[in-house]
Amino acid sequence: EPTAAALAYGLDKKNKNMKVAVYDLGGGTFDISILELGDGVFEVKSTNGDTHLGGDDFDQAIIDWLAQEFAADNAGIDLKKDPMALQRLKEAAEKAKIELSNAASAEINLPYITALDGVPKHLVKTLTRAKFEALCDDLFNRSIEPCRKALADAHLSASDIDEVLLVGGSTRIPKVQELVKNFFGKEPNKSVNPDEVVAIGAAIQGGVLAGDVKDVLLLDVTPLSLGIETLGGVMTKLIDANTTIPVHKEQVFSTAADNQPGVEIKVLQGERPMAKDNKLIGVFHLDGIAPAPRGIPQIEVSFDIDTNGILSVSAKDKATGKEQHIRIEASSGLSEDEIQRMRDEAKANEAADKAEKEKADKFNNADSMVFQTEKNLKDYGDKIPADKKGAIETACGHLKKAVQEQNLADIDRYMPELEAAWHAASEDMAKATQQGPSAQDPNGPQNPQGPQGGQSGPGPDFGN
């Protein structure tokens, strides 16, 4: 497997002797291999690992956290003792883990997860990337000791390694990549899909052994990231730079306004977080979306790049089946100089871009919180104590005005106020529930509304 990985990354085409570390973190096991390459020959110098470390363990950490949080909020109910509830927790945990590789937070919404005294209970939580990293910190760090042992067995130090290759789906986790970078002192090579790297390398080696491949194939990659513009002028990436082609990616988005009849898909290329700073390479519209509240429609956007570099983008309303697409020949369409210029601009503006992206995210978060609060007040207002309801309405009104005026200082002030008002209301409702059946607070302190607020699915919202 480590030799296959090195083949897939094309290291055999580099005309120099190399020492390579193959970091393989999959669903259930972890392996680290140290290879030496010279004159086209791979030699495995050492291996080490942990047969009980992988993505399943990260899922379990999320499951345990969700179960503990739910038990604390619901009279000690243990969801892990209910097989059906446990299965839903497992699916939600894996989905959240995957989302957190590309987003700062993931919404976990499991309605009717169980019942207490005939009253249905719902699990609604927001898992941030920071919380996920804290939950799995010990697990992530367990991969470092085998790396030390493998280097010692090969009589090498981390600084002797020329290339670090990532294998296995769990290496997509940003914290894992950060640990690898810090340990080896260099950026790991992420140019090949970690799920497919061993299969690709094995196919190449099979072709060589069969005589079908006289010269090992060099795989083409996307030079820049590709994505679409979403709410707040943000570029949401679907295909990262240096992804091996052919490739297929899809993500579900939603609407940003009630009864929004259509969406405009702006296809972008570049490395900067705001849409305006990237290259617009195509635009098309999807109309005829059935009238529905904001966040309810599910718009599936798909990106496909074939072996010739031709990009096809489609958008499909999952409710009506209506679909539109665009085909973009030579999806790069840029010279090497232009590509390098865009990369340099992204690097030079990194700090300013980060600040602008954080500002856009904050406006989106506040807007979603206002929307969700107004919806919950409409649906469940009669279950909220009158004095607490008034505090929520006041804070929501202030925050709504701040969003309309794009007043960042007031947003920073009133978002915590609104969360605190919900917290106070949820405590009263919890006490009432202990005395008799009552509706669950649908937007308590554990459900701050992020950029995916409402029922918008795993992706951000389109503008209206």
Q: What CATH code is carried by the domain that includes residue 319?
A: 2.60.34.10
**Residue that is last in its domain, among 353, 378, 411:** 353
* Number of domains composing the chain: 2
Reported as a single tens digit per residue, the pLDDT across 208-267 is 666 665 544 434 567 788 999 988 888 999 998 867 777 899 999 988 888 888 899 999
User: Is there a contact between 424 and 391 (Cβ–Cβ < 8 Å)?
Assistant: yes
Q: Give the pLDDT of residue 439.
A: 36
- Confidence category of residue 40, pLDDT binned at 50, 70, 90: low
The residue from 179, 210, 241 where one domain ends is 210
| Nearest in space to 220 (alpha carbons), one of 250, 244, 255 | 244
Instruction: Indicate whether 296 and 231 sit together in one domain.
Output: yes
The single residue listed with the structure tokens 């009864």 is: 259
| 320 and 241 co-located in one domain | yes
pLDDT of residue 456: 36
Which pLDDT does position 228 carry in this prediction? 94
Please report whether residue 298 resides in a domain: yes
Look up the CATH number of the domain holding residue 173: 3.30.420.40
- Round to whole Å and give the CA distance between 323 and 306: 20
Average pLDDT estimate for 348-360: 85
Mean pLDDT value across residues 11-27? 79
Token couple for 316: 């499909």
133 inside domain: no
What are the angstrom distances between the C-alpha of 16 and each of 38, 41, 123? 7, 11, 55
The predicted model gives 73-87 an average pLDDT of 92
pLDDT digits (tens, 9 = 90+) for 116-148: 888 899 999 999 999 999 999 999 999 999 999
Rounded CA gap, 65 and 337, in Å?
49
- Mean pLDDT of the region 166-191: 93
Q: Given a cut of 90, is residue 81 above it in pLDDT?
A: yes
Instruction: Note whether 291 and 330 are same-domain residues.
Output: yes
Q: Is the pLDDT of residue 446 over 70?
A: no
The mean-pLDDT minimum among 163-177, 253-267, 350-364, 438-452 falls in 438-452
| Per-residue pLDDT tens over the stretch 393-406 | 888 888 888 888 88
Band of pLDDT at residue 309, cut at 50, 70 and 90: confident
For 83, the 3-state DSSP assignment is helix
Residue 464 lies in a domain: no
pLDDT of residue 191: 77
Q: Are residues 273 and 234 in the same domain?
A: yes
Give the mean pLDDT of 327-345: 72
Same structural domain for residues 252 and 327?
yes
pLDDT at 464 over 80: no
Query: Do 146 and 39 reside in the same domain of the chain?
Result: yes
Among the ranges given (154-163, 195-204, 245-254), the one the predictor scored with the smallest mean pLDDT? 195-204
Rg (C-alpha) for the chain, rounded Å, is: 25
Q: What is the pLDDT of residue 394?
A: 87
User: What confidence score (pLDDT) does residue 454 get?
Assistant: 36
Mean pLDDT, the chain, whole residue set:
82
Angle at the Cα of 273 from the Cα atoms of 373 and 409, rounded to 5 degrees? 45
SS3 state at 464: coil
Higher pLDDT: 459 or 337? It is: 337
Amino acid identity of residue 142, one-letter, is R
Whether 184 is in a domain gets the answer yes
More confident residue, 403 or 108: 108
Coil, strand or helix at 294: coil
Are the C-beta atoms of 275 and 233 separated by less than 8 Å?
yes
In a domain, 292, yes or no: yes
> Residue 71's pLDDT is what?
94
In this structure, the answer to whether residues 194 and 272 fall within a common structural domain is no
Answer yes or no: is 81 within a domain.
Answer: no
Residue corresponding to tokens 């999806």: 331
The whole-number average pLDDT for the span 39-63 is 87
- Of 330, 353, 376, the residue that ends a domain is 353
Amino acid at 33: S
Beta strands in 168-275 (DSSP E): 226-230, 234-239, 247-253, 262-269
Q: Are residues 167 and 205 in the same domain?
A: yes
Residue 9 falls within a domain, yes or no? Answer: yes
Let me know whether 47 and 161 are in one domain: yes
Per-residue confidence at 444, pLDDT binned at 50, 70, 90? very low
3-state SS assignment for residue 52 = coil
Domain shared by 189 and 331, yes or no: no
Q: Structure pTM?
A: 0.49
Which is higher by pLDDT, 373 or 317? Answer: 317
Parent domain of 237:
226-353
Report if residue 436 sits inside a domain: no
- Distance between CA atoms of 373 and 442, rounded to whole angstroms? 9
